[in-house]
Homo-oligomer: A and B are copies of this chain.
Amino acid sequence: MSVKFAVLGHGVVGSGVVELFYKNKESIEKRAGTEMELKYILDLRDFPDTPYADKFTKDFNDILNDDEVTAVCECMGGLEPAFTFVKSCLEKGKSVSTSNKELVAEKGDILLAIAKEKNCNFFFEASVGGAIPIIRPLHKCLAANEINEVAGILNGTTNFILTKMYNDNMAFDDALKLAQQLGYAEKDPTADVEGYDACRKICIISSLVYGKHVYPKSVFTKGISQIDLNDVQVADSMGYAIKLIANVKKLENGKILPCVMPMLVSHDNIISSVSDVFNAVLVDGDAVDKTMFYGRGAGKFPTASAVVGDLIDSVKHKVTVFSQSWESSEDDSFIESVDNFKAKWYVREAGKTPYITDNELTFAEAQKLSAEAVIPVLA
């Protein structure tokens, strides 16, 4: 008996999932330990010229009410109707694999609770770092560790822009235009450039690592639109690259401090070598010390690779993987205010040579400096 699954959405990622499944069907089935059949693709558009045109449906209920379908890949993006569809699938005991970071960051706790209740799985490896295996390593391979800190380059668009500023001395606006021309940035680049995309991803990582749902609204987020080419060049001469870092730390008071900010990263830190659209996640655990995961953070097949990997795992696991889960948070009192974020800071004051502070200052203290630019240094 083959396992039957459906794909919600036939955009970039969804079509990648379908193509990848047929391309590597034989080895995917071997790894899943069973034959697999793609039964439905949900999309409001018609795709008459694809080899699997007969799989398409415009009616979600075809999938929801078909008890043969036990696994679903959600690749629509956005909160609705994705949330309603995924929730309905899980309530029927269908496991879901998603690439939708907004969905996981805003509604993960609710969906994980339903999956647990119905003894199925809600998997989301593709929602953080695209192709990079990070969710499973964090909760499985590093399960023996207390995680002190996670610091990542989680947005490829901004890393591409910063790389162009750094390598080719392009101003921010020119680098953004180039990213748009190459298809790395959207027409409205706000979500990437202002750090909202990276914020969703650090919310997912923080929730998984520390066990309570962290909402985007609780996370201080600053993008790269204010980064001056001059600062990139001066930082380089001081031995640093400027990167948009999504970061979460466990503090001594027991709280966690997630944030997204441009930071100076020492050339000695391997994260500074992560360039172009590549992403990387550096994990600091009490036993492993520092370990890093690197790869393509977006793109059709890299993201599809993660979705299909999750699909295979959900076919193999008939019961809920409870370690890949977290609880709802009643309030954000477990999250420390960014005002208490401590670092050394790169400071540029009018008419003075830029410098790095000798001592750590809090975020609140750094903001009080009468400076034209203050950027923290990643420790």
Q: Report A101-130 CB contacts with B as 1/0, cut-off 8 Å.
A: 000000000000000000000000100000
A-B contact pairs, 11 of them (CB 8 A): A16-B287, A137-B141, A143-B308, A270-B278, A286-B301, A287-B301, A288-B301, A288-B305, A289-B295, A289-B302, A292-B294
Q: For A142, give its contact among B141, B307, B309 (CB under 8 Å).
A: B309
Contact check, A294 vs B291: say whether CB atoms are below 8 A apart.
yes
With A24-B286, A270-B294, A291-B296 already in contact, 18 other A-B pairs whose C-beta atoms are closer than 8 Å:
A20-B144, A28-B143, A132-B291, A136-B136, A137-B137, A137-B141, A140-B309, A140-B313, A142-B309, A143-B308, A144-B304, A144-B309, A270-B278, A286-B301, A287-B305, A288-B296, A289-B302, A292-B295
Closest residue of chain B to A145 (Cβ to Cβ) is B305
Near B by CB (< 8 A), chain A positions 274-299 give: 274, 278, 285-296, 299
Tell me the bound Cα distance from A133 to B136 in angstroms.
10
Number of interface residues of A (CB under 8 A): 55
Contacts of A312 in B (CB 8 A): 140, 143-144
Q: Report A10-31 CB contacts with B as 1/0, cut-off 8 Å.
A: 0000001000110110011001
Tell me the bound Cα distance from A136 to B323 in angstroms.
15
Whether A316 sits at the interface, judged by CB under 8 Å, is: yes
Contacts of A21 in B (CB 8 A): 144
Closest residue of chain B to A293 (Cβ to Cβ) is B293
Contact check, B144 vs A133: say whether CB atoms are below 8 A apart.
no
Q: A137-B133, A270-B273 are in contact. Are A143 and B287 (CB under 8 A)?
A: no
Q: For A289, give its contact among B270, B291, B293, B296 (CB under 8 Å).
A: B296
Contacts of A33 in B (CB 8 A): 322-323
Contact check, B144 vs A308: say whether CB atoms are below 8 A apart.
yes
Tell me the bound Cα distance from A296 to B311 in angstroms.
31
Shortest beta-carbon distance, A302 to chain B, in Å?
5
Shortest beta-carbon distance, A139 to chain B, in Å?
7
Q: For A295, give its contact among B131, B133, B290 (CB under 8 Å).
A: B290
Closest residue of chain B to A283 (Cβ to Cβ) is B295
Whether A146 sits at the interface, judged by CB under 8 Å, is: yes
